[in-house]
Structure 1
Amino acid sequence: MDYEIFDLGDVTLQSGATLPDAFLAYKTYGRLNEKKDNVIVYPTAFGDQHVQNEWLIGEGMALDPQKYFIIVPNLLGNGLSSSPTNTPPPFDKANFPQVTVYDNVQFQHRLVTERFGIQKIALVVGWSLGGIQAFQWGASYPGIVERIAPIAGMAKTWPQTYLVLEGVRAPLLAAVGFDSSKLGQLTAADMRAVGRVYAGWGLSQAFYREGLYRELGFDSVADFMTGVWEDSFMKMDPHNVLAMLGTGIRADISANPAYNGDFEKALRSITAHAYVMPGSTDLFCPADDNKYEAELMPHAVFKPIESIWGHFAGRGINKADNQFIDDSLERLLALHH
């Protein structure tokens, strides 16, 4: 096991449901300094685990473990933190309670303060659903978070994103005839169709038109669809996927007692220096939605990743995009209030 566990005990979720014996799986890189102010929190995205974040961490990079103490908390529902697959009955499989982004960030805050005694965070960075968590950190804990860098993630699930996530969820519902009482019967094979649906949204039209899948060793779009999308989704448990989709579908940094749904107020309350970095061709977290959000934040710079890699411009695959992200984080970490 290359990660650690932080026990949360029995937690009351935002929905009012109790999740017994909840826990966060997390991994740290580097060392906490004496002043405890060299901290970077880097939450995981939908379907990802801490390992998938490691491309952005390294010596000589912005997220340098020689300089910073980097904490990567795993998303609830991802199979490592409390999830449908590792929670005993009666909260296993399809009975896992609904978890929000707000819940995740509250529990991460407990990890950071209770386990490490940290009161200042230099940066919260994340991709996709990790980016939404970065926004939530900025809105929930403005006194603690000095900088945020949401990459291809937004401050709430805008209509386009909602439609895509519902479209990704639909094959799983269809597999049980849209009878939610039968969701417990889903198997990994039911994930194949999910991968096919997602394939059209993860990358841009130009990516496919220009045949960039060839750079990844695939001869045709069809091979790429089965070799990458079907394959990666079939490795995920359908119940974990449903739990994480639920978290994504309901995401909104203002949907909590602090802001009571006042989205603009929540954005204006993010006092952290922010680099908001959408993929310029992202089809399901459109850059325009981020532009609107950044304009309402007092210290935000809108910095699109000019790339035809769509949503995956932020995923650590394409060299030029990786360089842009690393350089931007380097600059952001050099900013002082």
Structure 2
Amino acid sequence: MFALIFSLCLISTLGFAHVSSEPTHQSYLIGDFQLKGGEFIEEFQISYVTHGTLNQDKSNVILMASSLGGNHHRIDFMIGPGLGLDTDKYFIICTDAIGNGLTTSPSTSEMQHGMNFPAFTIEDMVKSQYLLLEHLGIDHLFAVAGASMGGMQGIQWAVSYPDFVDNIVSLTGSARASAWMWAFLDASNRIIMLDPVWDDGCYIEQPEKGWRLWTDMLLALMAAHPVGINYEYPNGPDGKVFLDWWETVWLSKNFDANDMIYQSNAVKNYNVGYTHDFDGDLKAALESVKARVLFLPATNDLLVPIDQAIEDLNAVKRIKIKPIPGNYGHFLAHPLYDPKAVEFINKKTEEFLKFRYKD
């Protein structure tokens, strides 16, 4: 069982390498990109791939937003013929978020390298996607879909551009970062920063010791759930096998430490109530949403507490909330552990989107 899951994990999480059968990796140079805080990312470019065929009236466009530490492959398990995001029906633009190493990031910027990179927000990620769509001649979206940080971007889309998008599919997202999430992400960042190799962000090699402990804390423990992990690893000493497995998988992705710190900070400070002129009024921001929203939280999510997320999002006028059943926490929105959860997600997404002309 372990060997099978490990193989599946490698296939589904190693998202930076491309093979010939995959869609062409593209990028759009926006130039100097102004952030919400007023600073600019110089020579900014956004990375993306597309699936499916754009119809004549451009009414079948779905934008996919990537997760924390993820890329445009994050919800590949939903994309394809007969899946929730059916490529026989929809034209899907899968974007890479600021700071993931493909779109301009602290690790890739020559002029603002490392910790000289300006702080960015979830709102900035969405703005960069909007500018990409302008470039592509897309003036309306049928839907935005994403998991985790991608699900947050979906909610942000609905608040930032209420007349631009018809439907939101948010997996394990939220309308704001909870105090619990803020604290955990902040502590996880400090784990990386306490590694002497990190050297105030001026490292030559990745701070491996910090990364390993970060992986143990955030991915292995917080994004999973005790019930599911104890089922997969029934013996106490198997906990080491579990941690070693995650460390191997994450380190093989070669994600950059500064990129993670910046992306984590964007998630920590996320709150759609501070969009436009809402001035922190979360309820008013969510009541402004015109899109239909499908919210798929994980039933026992330790990273994104389900009760608070549901309580907040109930302010959205047209929302369907369908908790993903299972015992693997935040990772229920990942093809890693539970095939039944994947089936559930695809089914609920397909059902939600097929009523494109109905409430």
Is TM (by shorter chain) over 0.5?
yes
**More off after superposition, 15-24 vs 127-136:** 15-24
- The 3 A distance-change label for structure 1 pair 107 and 308 is same
Does the 8 A contact of 2:159 with 2:275 survive in 1? no
For residues 197-224 of structure 1, the C-alpha deviation after alignment (integer angstroms, 9 at most, x for no partner) is 112101111012222699xxxx922111
For residues 101-148 of structure 1, the C-alpha deviation after alignment (integer angstroms, 9 at most, x for no partner) is 101101101111222x22221111110000000000011111111111
- Of 56, 75, 83, 2:97 maps to 75
Who is 1:244 aligned against?
263
- 2:188 and 2:78 map into 1 onto residues whose CA distance is 27
- The 3 A distance-change label for structure 1 pair 141 and 56 is same
1:99 matched to 2:117? no
- 2:173 and 2:196 map into 1 onto residues whose CA distance is 31
Does the 8 A contact of 1:9 with 1:23 survive in 2? yes
Who is 1:302 aligned against?
321
For residues 149-199 of structure 1, the C-alpha deviation after alignment (integer angstroms, 9 at most, x for no partner) is 11111111111111221121120222259xx98222372413111111112
- 1:61 and 1:302 map into 2 onto residues whose CA distance is 20
Q: Give the TM-score, by structure 1 length.
A: 0.92
Shift >4 Å, 4+ stretches: none
Does the 8 A contact of 1:276 with 1:302 survive in 2? yes
- 1:303 and 1:275 map into 2 onto residues whose CA distance is 7
Who is 1:108 aligned against?
129
Who is 1:207 aligned against?
228
Does the 8 A contact of 2:67 with 2:150 survive in 1? yes
Residues 237-276 of structure 1: matches in 2 within 5 Å? 237-276=256-295
1:128 matched to 2:148? yes
Q: Give the TM-score, by structure 2 length.
A: 0.87
Does the 8 A contact of 1:188 with 1:237 survive in 2? no
**More off after superposition, 291-300 vs 73-82:** 291-300
1:159 matched to 2:179? yes
Counterpart residue identity of residue 217, structure 2: V
Question: Matched residue of 2:119: which SS?
Answer: coil
Counterpart residue identity of residue 176, structure 2: K
Does the 8 A contact of 1:196 with 1:230 survive in 2? no
- 1:100 and 1:181 map into 2 onto residues whose CA distance is 25
Q: Provide structure 1 residue ranges, at least 5 long, that are not aligned to the other structure.
A: none
Q: Percent identity?
A: 25
Question: Matched residue of 2:43: which SS?
Answer: strand
1:22 matched to 2:40? no
Count the aligned residue pairs. 329
Who is 2:34 aligned against?
12
Who is 1:85 aligned against?
107
